[in-house]
């Protein structure tokens, strides 16, 4: 049984069809990349999976459980967590408290949350700054804080929505290497990125969305040589 399974997912916003009959599976321990031009429906797909949007049609199964239409809180409790595209930490809390509160109120409530938060900060290289407030953090460090927050929930699958967005090449490299470390821990990762090269390096399989539909699924090598994919990107 696959860890994550979407079957015939359609999402309409009024007349806009953001997702059109999308089906796929993500296996345990796999790293899957999701690419597609702006407005393709990538973020909407992640929001349907994590419960911010109920699908108009279709179903989402996680670890054999039908989670379609569940609240984000209950879905997080089940073990699916998503990073936010825009990171807005609580500025009056310490970096450590931000991770702790995030893990606590995300709905997952893991045991030893205080310790887990420190572990996660160490993992992303922010442990030495744990007691500072996040106001002085660079964009790259804020993204690492966001990764620590989701890691501290002890997730079964991590969904990264453009976690390297807006970063310089060096910061991007740090994030890619972190995702590699997360993968090496046996975690299942599903990530959206527009920095194609970064995503290609870390993913075993890549899905391509265009106008709410998958136009290709395959290995990074297959995707990079796919006519339809090249056309979708050059066409925007
Ligand atoms: P991507 O993340 O691939 O850039 P999105 O999933 O954000 O694309 O958007 C897909 C389409 O759905 C776009 O046409 C967008 O305008 C539309 N859309 C996304 N969210 C909403 C919403 N909350 N209300 C109405 N339309 C939306
Ligand atoms: Mg998006």
Residue 102 Cβ inside 6 Å of ligand 1? The answer reads no
- Which of the residues in the chain have pLDDT under 70? 106-110, 195, 234-236
pLDDT at 108 (0 to 100): 66
Q: Which residue, judged by its Cα, is nearest atom 19 of ligand 1?
A: 44
Q: Where are the alpha helices (DSSP H) in the chain?
A: 42-49, 72-78, 95-105, 113-124, 139-151, 169-184, 196-202, 220-224, 227-234
Tokens of 165: 């967005």
pLDDT value of residue 106: 65
Residue 52: its pLDDT value, please? Answer: 95
Q: CA 148, CA 151: separation in Å to the nearest integer?
A: 5
Minimal-distance CA residue to ligand 1 atom 13: 39
The residue whose C-alpha atom lies closest to atom 12 belonging to ligand 1 is 18
CA distance 47 to 187: 20
Specify the pLDDT at position 164: 87
Give the strand pairing for 213-218 and 80-82: unpaired
Question: What's the 172 CA to ligand 1 centre distance in angstroms?
Answer: 25
* Residue 104: predicted pLDDT: 77
- Which ligand places an atom closest to the C-alpha of 35? 1
The residue among 18, 143, 147 whose CA lies nearest residue 86 is 143
What domains are there in the chain, each with its CATH number?
A: 1-79+188-236 (3.40.50.300)
218-to-33, 184, 207 alpha-carbon distances in Å: 10, 21, 7
Q: Looking at residue 60, what is its pLDDT?
A: 98
Alpha-carbon distance of 28 to 145, in angstroms, equals 25
Residue 209: nearest ligand to its CA? Answer: 1
- Which pLDDT does position 46 carry in this prediction? 97
């Amino acid at each position: 049984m696959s860890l994550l399974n979407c079957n015939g997912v359609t999402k309409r916003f009024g007349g806009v069809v953001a997702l059109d009959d999308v089906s796929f599976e993500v296996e345990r321990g796999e790293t899957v990349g999701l690419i597609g031009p702006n407005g393709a429906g990538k973020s909407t797909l992640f929001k349907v999976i994590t419960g911010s949007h109920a699908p108009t049609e279709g179903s989402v199964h996680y670890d054999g459980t039908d989670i379609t239409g569940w609240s984000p809180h209950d879905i997080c409790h089940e073990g699916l967590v998503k990073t936010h595209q825009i990171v807005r930490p609580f500025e009056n809390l310490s970096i450590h408290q931000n991770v702790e509160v995030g893990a606590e109120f995300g709905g997952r409530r893991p045991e030893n949350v205080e310790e887990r938060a420190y572990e996660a900060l160490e993992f992303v290289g922010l442990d030495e700054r744990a007691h500072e407030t996040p106001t002085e953090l660079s964009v790259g460090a804020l993204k690492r804080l966001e990764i620590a927050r989701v890691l501290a929930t002890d997730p079964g699958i991590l969904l990264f929505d453009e976690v390297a967005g807006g970063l310089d090449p060096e910061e991007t490299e740090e994030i890619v290497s972190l995702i590699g470390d997360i993968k090496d821990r046996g975690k299942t990762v599903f990530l959206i990125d527009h920095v194609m090269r970064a995503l290609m390096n870390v993913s075993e399989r890549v899905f391509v969305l265009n106008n709410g539909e998958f136009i290709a699924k395959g290995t990074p090598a297959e995707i990079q040589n796919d006519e339809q994919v090249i056309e979708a990107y050059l066409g925007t």
